[in-house]
Chains A and B, each alone.
Chain A
Amino acid sequence: MKTKKIFRLTLLLVIATLICTACGQAAQPTIKIGVNAPLTGDIPKVGEGSKFAAEMWLEEIGGELEVGGQTYPVELVIEDNESKAESAASVNQKLITQDEVLAIVGPQSSKQAVPAGGAANDGQTPMVSPWSTNPNTTLNRPWVFRTPFLDSFQGPAVAKFVTEEFGFTKAGVLYDIASDYPKGLADYFKQGWEDIHGEGSVVAFESFTTGDTDFSAQITKIKESGAEFFFTPQYYNEVALIVQQARELGFNQPIVGSDSWGSAELLNLCGEDCYGLFYSSHYLAENPTGEAKEFIEGYEEKYGYVPDDVGALTWDTMHIIERAINECGEITGDIEADRTCVRDALANIKNFEGVTGTMTFTEEGDPIKCALIIKIGDDGSKSVYEQTCPEE
Chain B
Amino acid sequence: MDVFLQQLMNALQWGSFYALIAIGYSMVYGVLMLFNFAHGDIFMVGAYIGFFVSSGLLALNLGSVIGLSTGVELGLVLVLTLIISMLLNSIVGMGVERIGYRPLREAPRASAAITGLMIGIILETANLALLGPQRRSFPELIPTTTITIAGASVTNKKILIVIVSLVLALLVHQFVQRTKWGMAMRAMAYDYVVVPLMGISSDRIALMTFAIGSALAAAAGILFGIAYPVLDPNMGILFGWKAFVAAILGGRGSILGAALAGFLLGFIEIFVTMIFPSTMRNLIAFGIILIILTFRPHGFFGEPFSAQLRL
Which A residues are closer than 8 A to B by beta carbons? 40, 42, 44-45, 47-48, 177, 205-214, 216-218, 220-221, 224, 237-238, 240-241, 244, 248-250, 265, 268-269, 271, 305
- Of the residues B13, B137, B146, B239, contact of A269 by C-beta under 8 Å: B137
Closest to B138 in A: A269
| Residue B237 CB within 8 A of the other chain | yes
Judge whether A177 and B7 touch: CB under 8 Å: no
Q: Contact between B132 and A48 (Cβ–Cβ < 8 Å)? A: yes
Could you show 30 A-B contacts with beta carbons less than 8 Å apart? A40-B125, A40-B128, A44-B233, A45-B133, A45-B135, A208-B278, A209-B281, A210-B238, A211-B237, A213-B224, A213-B228, A213-B230, A214-B10, A214-B14, A216-B10, A216-B14, A217-B270, A217-B271, A217-B274, A217-B278, A220-B6, A220-B274, A221-B274, A237-B230, A240-B137, A241-B229, A249-B6, A250-B148, A268-B137, A269-B230
Known: A217-B10, A249-B153. A240 touches B229 (CB 8 A): yes
Q: Which residues of B contact A206 (CB under 8 A)?
A: 273, 278
Check B134–A265 contact: CB distance below 8 A: yes
Given contacts A40-B125, A45-B135, A207-B279, contact A214 B144 (CB under 8 A): no
Q: Are A217 and B3 touching (Cβ within 8 A)?
A: no
Q: How many of chain B's residues have a CB under 8 angstroms from any CB in A?
A: 40
Q: Which residues of the other chain, A, contact B155 by a CB distance below 8 angstroms?
A: 248
Which chain A positions have C-beta within 8 A of B58?
none
Among the listed B10, B128, B279, which residue makes an inter-chain contact with A220, where contact means beta carbons less than 8 Å apart? B10
User: Which residues B260-280 have CB closer than 8 A to chain A?
Assistant: 269-271, 273-274, 277-279
User: For the complex, would chain B's binding face be called helix, strand, loop or mixed by DSSP majority?
Assistant: helix
Task: List the 10 shortest-distance A-B pairs measured between CB atoms, nearest first.
Answer: A44-B133, A216-B10, A211-B238, A217-B273, A45-B133, A213-B228, A250-B153, A217-B270, A206-B278, A207-B279
Q: In the assembly, what is the distance between CA of A244 and CA of B140, in Å? A: 12
B273 contacts which of A218, A237, A241, A265 (Cβ < 8 Å)?
A: A218
| Other-chain contact of B278, A214, A218, A237 (Cβ < 8 Å) | A218
Chain A residues within 8 Å of B70, by CB = none
Nearest A residue to B236 by beta-carbon distance? A211
- Is B234 at the interface (CB under 8 A from chain A)? yes
Closest to B140 in A: A271
- Nearest to B11 among chain A residues (CB) is A217
Give the number of residue pairs across the A-B interface with Cβ within 8 Å. Answer: 93
Asked, given contacts A216-B10, A220-B7, A248-B144, whether A237 binds B279 with beta carbons under 8 Å apart, the answer is no
Given known contacts A216-B13, A216-B270, A48 and B234 CB-to-CB distance under 8 angstroms = no
Min Cβ gap A80→B in Å is: 11
- Give the docked Cα–Cα distance between A127 and B146 (Å): 51
A210, B228: Cα distance in complex, Å = 15
Chain A residues near B3 (CB, 8 Å)? 220, 224
Q: Is the CB of B270 within 8 A of A44?
A: no
B232 partner, pick from A48, A237, A268, A305, beta carbons under 8 A: A237
Cβ contact within 8 Å between A214 and B13: yes
In whole Å, how far is B7's beta carbon from the nearest beta carbon of chain A?
A: 6
A177 touches B14 (CB 8 A): no
Q: How far is the CB of B9 from chain A (nearest CB, A)?
A: 8
Assembled-state Cα–Cα distance A48/B128 (Å): 11
A207 proximity list for chain B (CB < 8 A): 278-279, 281
Q: Which residues of B contact A209 (CB under 8 A)?
A: 238, 281-282
Q: Which residues of the partner chain A approach B270 to less than 8 Å between Cβ atoms? A: 216-217
Q: Bound complex: CA of A382 vs CA of B288, how far in Å? A: 46
Given pairs A210-B238, A237-B230, 20 additional interface contacts (CB within 8 A): A42-B234, A44-B233, A48-B132, A177-B279, A206-B278, A207-B281, A209-B281, A209-B282, A213-B230, A214-B13, A214-B14, A214-B228, A224-B3, A244-B229, A248-B144, A249-B153, A250-B146, A269-B137, A269-B230, A305-B134
B168 at the A interface (CB under 8 A): no
CB distance from B206 to the nearest CB of A (A): 30
Contacts of A205 in B (CB 8 A): 277
Q: Which residues of B contact A305 (CB under 8 A)?
A: 134
B235 an interface residue at 8 Å Cβ cutoff? yes
CB proximity of B161 to chain A, nearest CB, Å: 11
- Residues from chain B with Cβ under 8 Å of A249 in the complex: 6, 153
Chain A nearest CB from B267 CB (Å) reads 11
Q: Which of chain A's residues have a CB closer than 8 A to the CB of B237?
A: 211
Instruction: Kindly supply a per-residue 1/0 record for chain B positions 4-43, scoring 1 wherever the CB is within 8 Å of any chain A CB and 0 otherwise.
Output: 0011001101100000000000000000000000000000
Q: How far is the CA of A305 from the CA of B134 in the complex (A)?
A: 10
Q: Are A217's CB and B269's CB within 8 A?
A: yes
Report the Cα distance A271→B230, complex, angstroms: 12
A46 to chain B, nearest CB (A): 8
Q: Is there an interface contact between B146 and A248, defined as CB atoms closer than 8 Å?
A: yes
CB neighbors of A among B167-206 (8 A)? none
How far is A40 from B273 in the complex, measured between Cα atoms in Å?
31
Question: Would A45 and B134 count as touching, CB distance under 8 A?
Answer: yes
- State the CA gap A48–B233 with chains docked (Å): 15
- Closest residue on chain B to residue A178 by CB atoms: B282
**Per-residue interface assignment for chain B, residues 246 to 265, with 1 indicating a CB less than 8 Å from any chain A CB and 0 otherwise:** 00000000000000000000
* Chain A residue nearest to B153 in the complex (CB): A250
A240 and chain B: residue at smallest CB distance: B230
A265 to B132, CA, bound (A): 14
A265 adjacent to B135 (CB under 8 Å): yes
Is the beta-carbon distance between B128 and A44 smaller than 8 angstroms?
yes
For the complex, what is the distance from the CA of A218 to the CA of B7, rounded to whole Å?
Answer: 10
CB-nearest residue of chain A to B137 = A269
